[in-house]
């Protein structure tokens, strides 16, 4: 990663649009250093006027901010409250990626956060004139042997996550990339504390079921109930 103060960024355009944020491609290099160039993904959270907050209440339960004024503003969805929520989304995703990376989970490396923009590792091919993003798992049809390996990759990742007391919160084959036969889990702003959030176990079950359904549709017989049971056992082992 290029972290020099003299680095220059060039926006290469939109990679993905979403309800809460857009992801841009950014070329970063140090002038005069031909070997310094990297391609990053810049996730830019939308302003409070242009974001959809219909999902916020369920995910934000169990999270707290220090100031009671901010808590009240968040609860009433005032303009200020929405700005606080926007900041929580960005900070939550950056902090989550840092912790998950430390745990060895397959996530993009978080580079930096500035206001409502988070820079992170770009997952895809950077050779050639135009970077090509890794496909979403939903767009792929892996061969049987690879499909089985991908299932074990997913199960290991979810068990580590549950052991920390977390679940993704919005996990589906559209939030998983397939890069060089390895899964990469993306989009983490709504990461859920399974114990602290009153809907935590419901969300955990939904995450696991969404993924199991995709594997079953691709021809691999997996048991969603068995996986959910394993994840709940890991999440509650400390209590």
The residues carrying an active-site annotation are 170
Instruction: Say which residues have a Cβ less than 8 Å from residue 108's Cβ, sequence separation at least 6.
Output: 41, 97, 120, 121, 122, 123, 184, 186
> Of the candidates 142, 45, 42, which has an alpha carbon nearest to the alpha carbon of residue 84?
45
């Amino acid at each position: 990663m290029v972290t020099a103060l003299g680095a220059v960024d060039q926006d290469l355009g939109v990679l993905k649009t979403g309800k809460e944020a857009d992801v841009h491609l950014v070329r970063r290099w140090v002038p005069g250093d031909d070997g310094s160039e990297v391609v990053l993904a810049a996730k830019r959270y939308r302003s409070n006027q242009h974001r959809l907050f219909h999902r916020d209440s369920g995910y934000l339960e169990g999270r707290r901010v220090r100031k009671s004024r901010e808590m009240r503003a968040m609860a009433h969805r005032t303009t200020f409250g929405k700005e606080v929520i926007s900041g929580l989304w960005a900070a939550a995703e950056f902090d989550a990626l840092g912790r998950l990376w430390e745990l060895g989970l397959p996530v993009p490396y978080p580079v930096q956060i500035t206001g409502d923009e988070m820079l992170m590792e770009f997952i895809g091919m950077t050779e050639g004139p135009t970077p090509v993003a890794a496909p979403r798992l939903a767009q792929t049809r892996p061969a049987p042997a690879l499909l089985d390996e991908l299932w074990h990759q997913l199960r290991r990742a979810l068990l580590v996550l549950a052991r920390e007391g977390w679940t993704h919160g919005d996990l589906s084959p559209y939030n998983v990339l397939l890069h060089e036969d390895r899964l990469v889990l993306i989009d983490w702003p709504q990461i859920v504390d399974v114990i602290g959030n009153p809907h935590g176990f419901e969300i955990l079950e939904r995450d696991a079921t969404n993924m199991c359904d995709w594997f079953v549709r691709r021809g691999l017989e997996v048991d969603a109930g068995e996986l959910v049971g394993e994840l709940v056992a890991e999440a509650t082992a400390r209590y």
